[in-house]
């Protein structure tokens, strides 16, 4: 019975009664094939865009019997490596160290593509002319590495690029007992489990949710928020001191600790305090200020601030007063109110000018003479002859010595004049 060969690795199966005295050579060759099929590494330099790797029956020297292929070289373009024959089911670990993409083919079925510097497992289905080759990556660059079941790494794991958790409910666990976890909330964000903290620097610097309705931001000194606008939608409770260096714009009411009716804010050199209004002035809660009756005193009124125009028409005012002395027939005003001068209009006649004119000539006037020597010899009658809005004409008379009823004009030592206007 003639020898036959295994389908996939070409191991010779010696026929019964054959190769007497030589079977050991065949057996050794078979063992070499098995050794290479398990651990053999074949270095292949690619120099063109095509290459055929053949597994020859009974030959340990054929390239195809090896487990691992290491490609190198510069093929000048994508190189198609064909596995021959097309009826062998093979598994290879291939490292493409060339500078081009390598396509692993066996028939007209699918090919396995390995980019430059990519390492992958490939297996051929040995389906004959329609045979296909399938790739399973073992490196993360450039293709993806897919594990169909759980992956456990007992040591450190380094990821040179992106790490994606593809499940909408993916959970990233931390700790020997997974006491801390991050859960992906689809289309929303990440959820830190329970009341766990996100810490910065040390345990005192953290963001924490102690319950379902509270979020705490904790810091030992300062929390700084830098933005052109801080929008707080809700009540703001500040238990410490608030320092504001810019303007404060209120869209609502300013509510102080003490909001007793009619109190006002008064600066005391340190702050604004609520104070009650007291004294002669009161302010209502509508902003109306009231001065108490009989509260305005003389000392509160500036000099020359009360004028006739500001007084009621029924109130009598002193319109003018003057003390006049006469020496040698020449009159002079020695003291006065609201006068601008005096004119000698003849013996015993004197015209006094009023500084601020009255509205008309309807005003009261009183006049009296006085002497300077105490003899009363020149005391006579003093009358107001005419009066106008701006002048008063005063006349002096004295009775004759022989007839008391007779009068003559004279210049007195002096006289007083006073007028009232309403």
> 101 and 27, same structural domain?
yes
Question: Tokens representing 28?
Answer: 């050794």
What is the domain-level CATH number for residue 358?
2.60.40
> Considering just the CA atoms, what is the radius of gyration of the chain in Å?
63
Residue 264 contacts residue 277 (beta carbons within 8 Å): yes
What's the pLDDT at 137?
A: 80
Count of C-beta atoms within a 10 Å radius of residue 127: 15
> 129 and 185, same structural domain?
no
For residue 364, being part of any structural domain is answered with yes
> 132 and 8, same structural domain?
yes
> 391 and 336, same structural domain?
yes
For residue 29, being part of any structural domain is answered with yes
What's the pLDDT at 276?
A: 85
∠ CA 117-121-123, rounded to 5°: 135
Which among 115, 109, 154 has a CA at the least distance from the CA of 129? 109
Name the β-bridge partners of 318.
Answer: 420
| Last residue in a domain, options 189, 218, 247 | 218
Query: What's the pLDDT tens digit per position in 257-316?
Result: 888 888 888 898 888 888 888 888 888 888 898 998 888 888 888 887 776 666 655 555
Query: What's the pLDDT tens digit per position in 174-233?
Result: 998 999 999 999 999 999 998 999 999 998 999 999 998 999 999 999 999 999 999 999
What's the pLDDT at 317?
A: 55
> 132 and 12, same structural domain?
yes
> 128 and 68, same structural domain?
yes
Chunked mean pLDDT (size 10), the chain, 422 residues: 86 87 88 93 96 94 95 96 96 96 96 95 95 82 59 80 86 91 93 92 92 92 91 89 87 83 88 86 88 85 73 62 90 93 93 92 88 62 90 86 68 88 68
Q: Taking the model in full, what pTM does it have?
A: 0.40
Residue 292 contacts residue 380 (beta carbons within 8 Å): no
> 105 and 11, same structural domain?
yes
> 204 and 120, same structural domain?
no
For residue 169, being part of any structural domain is answered with no
Max CA pair span of the chain? 205
Cα–Cα distance for residue pair 60/10, rounded to 1 Å: 9
For residue 166, being part of any structural domain is answered with no
Residue 66 contacts residue 59 (beta carbons within 8 Å): no
> 121 and 12, same structural domain?
yes
Residue 90 contacts residue 33 (beta carbons within 8 Å): no
For residue 288, being part of any structural domain is answered with no
> 211 and 87, same structural domain?
no
> 416 and 321, same structural domain?
yes
Using DSSP's 3-state secondary structure scheme, residue 280 falls into coil
Residue-averaged pLDDT of the chain: 87
For residue 268, being part of any structural domain is answered with no
| Last residue in a domain, options 191, 218, 245 | 218
Residues 6+ apart with CB under 8 A from 325: 331, 332, 334, 372, 413, 414
> 211 and 101, same structural domain?
no
Cα–Cα distance for residue pair 185/287, rounded to 1 Å: 57
Domain count, the chain: 3
For residue 353, being part of any structural domain is answered with yes
Count of C-beta atoms within a 10 Å radius of residue 152: 5
- What's CA 233's distance to the chain center, in Å? 13
Instruction: Determine the structural domain holding residue 186 and report its residue range.
Output: 181-218
- DSSP labels, 5-21: E-TTT--EEPPTT-STT
| Last residue in a domain, options 108, 137, 166 | 137
Residue 69 contacts residue 44 (beta carbons within 8 Å): yes
DSSP state of 257: S
Which among 171, 146, 130, 36 has a CA at the least distance from the CA of 92? 36
Question: Tokens representing 76?
Answer: 């000048």
What's the pLDDT at 139?
A: 52
Residue appearing with tokens 């320092």: 243
For residue 190, being part of any structural domain is answered with yes
């Amino acid at each position: 019975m003639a020898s036959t060969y295994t389908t996939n690795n070409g191991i010779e199966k010696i026929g019964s009664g054959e190769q007497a005295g030589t079977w050991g050579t065949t057996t050794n060759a078979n063992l070499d094939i098995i050794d290479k099929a398990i651990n053999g590494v074949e270095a292949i330099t690619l120099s063109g865009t095509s290459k055929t790797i053949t597994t020859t029956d009974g030959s340990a020297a054929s390239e195809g019997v090896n487990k691992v292929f290491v490609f190198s070289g510069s093929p000048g373009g994508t190189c198609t490596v064909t596995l021959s024959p097309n009826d062998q089911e093979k598994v290879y670990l291939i490292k493409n160290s060339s500078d081009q993409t390598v396509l692993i083919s066996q028939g007209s079925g699918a090919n396995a593509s390995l980019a430059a510097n990519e390492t992958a497992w490939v297996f051929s289905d040995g389906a004959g002319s329609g045979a296909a080759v399938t790739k399973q990556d073992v490196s993360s660059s450039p293709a993806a590495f897919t594990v169909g079941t759980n992956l456990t790494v007992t040591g450190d794991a380094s990821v040179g690029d992106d790490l994606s958790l593809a499940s909408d409910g993916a959970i990233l666990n931390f700790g020997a007992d997974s006491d801390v976890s991050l859960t992906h909330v689809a289309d929303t964000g990440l959820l830190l489990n329970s009341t766990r903290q996100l810490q910065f620097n040390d345990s005192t610097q953290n963001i924490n949710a102690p319950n379902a309705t509270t979020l705490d931001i904790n810091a030992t000194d300062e929390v700084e928020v830098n933005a052109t606008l801080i929008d707080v939608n809700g009540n703001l409770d500040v238990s410490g001191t608030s320092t504001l260096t810019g303007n404060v714009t209120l869209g609502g009411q300013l509510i102080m600790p003490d909001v007793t009716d009619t109190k006002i804010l008064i600066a005391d050199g340190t702050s604004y305090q609520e104070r009650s209004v007291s004294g002669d002035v009161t302010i209502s809660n509508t902003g109306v200020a009231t001065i108490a009756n009989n509260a305005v005193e003389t000392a509160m009124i500036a000099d020359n601030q009360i004028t006739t125009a500001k007084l009621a028409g029924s109130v009598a005012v002193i319109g003018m007063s003057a003390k006049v002395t006469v020496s040698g027939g020449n009159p002079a005003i020695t003291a006065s109110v609201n006068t601008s001068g005096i004119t000698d209009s003849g013996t015993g006649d004197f015209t006094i000018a009023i500084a601020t004119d009255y509205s008309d000539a309807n005003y009261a006037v009183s006049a009296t003479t006085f002497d300077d020597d105490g003899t009363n010899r020149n005391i006579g009658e003093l009358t107001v002859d005419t009066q106008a809005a701006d002048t008063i004409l005063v006349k002096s008379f004295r009775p004759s010595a022989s007839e008391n009823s007779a009068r003559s004009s004279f210049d007195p030592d002096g006289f007083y004049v006073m007028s009232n206007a309403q």
